[in-house]
Amino acid sequence: MTLRVQILKDKFNSYLGLPFKELLPESVIRQAISELKIKYKKRLFDPFVTLWAFLSQVLDTDKTCHNAVSKIIAHLAESKVEVPSTDTSGYCQARARLPEKLLEKLFNSSARNLEEKVTKEHLWCGRNVLVIDGSTVSMPDTIENQKEYPQPSSQKGGCGFPIAKIGVIFSLVTGGAVALCIDVLNTHDIKLARRLYSFLKPNDVLLGDRAFCAYADMVAITKLGCDVVFRKHQSRTTTMRKGKVVGDCDKLVTWYKPKRCPQGLSLDEFDALPSAIIVREIYYYIVIPGFRTQQVSLITTLLDTTTYPTLKIVGLYGKRWDIELDLRHLKTTLGMDVLRCKTPSMVRKEIYVYLLAYNLLRSLMWSAGTTYGNPPLRLSLQGTRHHLNNFIPKLLAATSTKRLQIYWTLLKVIAHKAVSDRPGRSEPRVRKRCPKAYPLMTKPRHELRNLLQTA
């Protein structure tokens, strides 16, 4: 058993340890296990092998447990050791034994390590910009999942899928995921955001849409030594007649404390809020054909018009769309939109592993872009995943010196796969391919089955 585990560790280190360098070698996992005081038995699927297999599973297009176990058997086939059974129960039990705290810690560690790669030349006006948004993921329709993450109340029982709400903070520079929180579907984005503010560092700038533009939250973020750029909430009327004009469509205005305590705040927190704050409001129009939004009003705590000119802030908010692309990469490119695990605990673990794999790909893109002079954010994440999966057999078969050469070739081909920048691009929102001519499911499956039998 020990020999088989060592062989697998060597195999995984060959292609995960080299491309991702310090982000996820065995030493980082061992340190996290030690800090969390996790004890485990010496078996084939120990935490190291299980985690690496889980990562390779979400990075592959075939995400079945059978495929993951098949890879492990293939790694051991050339060695003179007993190969494990093709039964997936051992691997599935090992995934269930992985502590959720371990995966969360490794994800947070990968986020910090990726952020440490950023230098001053990559910053916006000398500031690190983070982007926040919320999204949803669905999961198998099991009793446990429905109890923890209920389906929309508008759907009949048995006709929908459990859905979880996630809040994510991304780095605008690296594209990597910085922080994550998970809750039920009807949770408001701002409630998720308040659980993520602890991940902000002094001097950060938080960028978000109008769902996050609340008085109490702007006060809380500025107390952390950070600033915000949010789109103005629709409940606040826009007028250029009030406030101190500091530029074209740019003014300083005073916001007063709400008269009633908002939902989600305790009375003590509400009483501690200042009676008024000064914010900067920037108002502009979008005249690009096909764009749904035509008028935008931004609210920011960046009051210095010399250091942060109007056009700089407008251009920064234009990059907020990048978070939509990052979420699309997670949900569509990597396949996190529809999860596969059947219990809430495993669902959360699966989400953390997806985000960890996403950060590892982003780190590979960062290395390729900075090495060969291509902007990392312009590189293709799908292409990076394809190249990594295709280079894995060569990395496994190569010697240590040859492996380094293959690694540099991998970075080179990743840097060649750049996505063209098309600012102002607009496309009609239409479908070309017709869906299948089947009706929607409006009754539980057992009722529909009974109707077929009685027809």
Interatomic CA distance for residues 138 and 160, integer angstroms: 10
Q: Is 157 helix (H, G, I), strand (E, B) or coil?
A: coil
Span of 26-40, 139-153, 167-181, 390-404 with lowest mean pLDDT: 390-404
Interatomic CA distance for residues 319 and 337, integer angstroms: 23
What percent of the chain stands above pLDDT 90? 56
Residue 437 has a pLDDT of: 86
Q: Give every CB contact of residue 449 below 8 A, 6+ residues apart in sequence.
A: none
Structure tokens at 432: 């070309």
Residue 22 has a pLDDT of: 55
Split at pLDDT 50, 70, 90, the class of 268 is very high
Residue 433 has a pLDDT of: 87
pTM: 0.92
Interatomic CA distance for residues 395 and 397, integer angstroms: 6
Over the stretch 291-303, which tens digit does the pLDDT of each residue have? 666 788 999 999 9
Over the stretch 13-55, which tens digit does the pLDDT of each residue have? 665 555 665 567 778 888 999 999 998 887 888 888 888 889 9
- For the chain, count helices (H), then strands (E): 16, 9
Interatomic CA distance for residues 442 and 154, integer angstroms: 11
Average pLDDT over residues 157-173: 94
Residue 14 has a pLDDT of: 60
Interatomic CA distance for residues 297 and 87, integer angstroms: 58
Interatomic CA distance for residues 349 and 54, integer angstroms: 10
Average pLDDT over residues 303-318: 93
Residue 11 has a pLDDT of: 66
Split at pLDDT 50, 70, 90, the class of 348 is very high
pLDDT at 201 over 90: yes
pLDDT at 58 over 80: yes
Interatomic CA distance for residues 327 and 332, integer angstroms: 8
Long-range contacts of 239-245 (CB under 8 A, 24+ apart): 240/283, 243/281
Contact 137, 339 (CB under 8 A): yes
Residue 19 has a pLDDT of: 61
pLDDT at 426 over 80: no
Over the stretch 364-409, which tens digit does the pLDDT of each residue have? 999 999 999 899 999 999 999 999 888 887 877 777 778 888 889 9
Residue 17 has a pLDDT of: 55
Interatomic CA distance for residues 144 and 124, integer angstroms: 45
- Residue (of 202, 197, 163) closest to 183 by Cα position: 163
Average pLDDT over residues 332-343: 95
Angle, helices 344-372/400-416, rounded to nearest 10 degrees: 90
- Residue (of 114, 72, 192, 182) closest to 362 by Cα position: 114
Split at pLDDT 50, 70, 90, the class of 312 is very high
Split at pLDDT 50, 70, 90, the class of 287 is confident
Average pLDDT over residues 183-210: 94
Average pLDDT over residues 254-262: 90
